[in-house]
Amino acid sequence: MCKIICKSMCDKIDIIHGSKNIKPRFIYNCSFLKRFELDGIVLYPYILIQTSEKDTKPSIIKHEMTHVYQIERDGVVCFYYKTLKHIFKTLINGGSIIEAMTTSDYEIEAYKKEKYRLSYRDVCLSKWNGAVTNKMYNKLNKLNKLNKLNNNS
């Protein structure tokens, strides 16, 4: 029942935003991203996340969904053109790869949005099942740990 209601709400949001063709696909457990010190990366329409779905914080989903909206707003070609241009420019000027990948205008915007709760649209498009804020995520984790301790004793 809940799934049906959710599905129809998501369809309504798609109609309101005209976003029928925006379908990001989240792929978790991409542990190779650790090597690049990245929590996630958008290879549109795929969004690779370093951690498992259970261990992913809502702020990471918010960050990556911000990139999805940037692509929706500016177009996929513009998004990658500006991102790659920034990376090359930073590297040519002697910056590190981490600096190059985290200081573009798109990244700055995404880092700013991380502190906000996940919207209904974020949840629908990312098919997210977890908490909508990091605070809620931490509370749920604490409760789960307490439950495990109680069950073991």
- The residues binding Zn ion (CB under 5 A) are 107, 110
Among all residues, whose Cβ is closest to Zn ion?
Answer: 110
Q: How far is the CB of 19 from Zn ion (least distance, A)?
A: 20
Q: Which is nearer to Zn ion, 110 or 131 (CB)?
A: 110
Q: Which is nearer to Zn ion, 61 or 110 (CB)?
A: 110
Q: Which is nearer to Zn ion, 100 or 110 (CB)?
A: 110
Q: Which is nearer to Zn ion, 72 or 107 (CB)?
A: 107
Q: How far is the CB of 9 from Zn ion (least distance, A)?
A: 27
Q: How far is the CB of 148 from Zn ion (least distance, A)?
A: 33
Q: How far is the CB of 61 from Zn ion (least distance, A)?
A: 12
HEC string of the chain equals CHHHHHHHHHHHHHHHHCCCCCCCEEECCCHHHHHHCCCEEEECCEEEECCCCCCCCHHHHHHHHHHHHHHHHHCHHHHHHHHHHHHHHHHHCCCCHHHHHHCCHHHHHHHHHCCCCCCHHHHHHHCCCCCCCHHHHHHHHHHHHHHHHHHHC
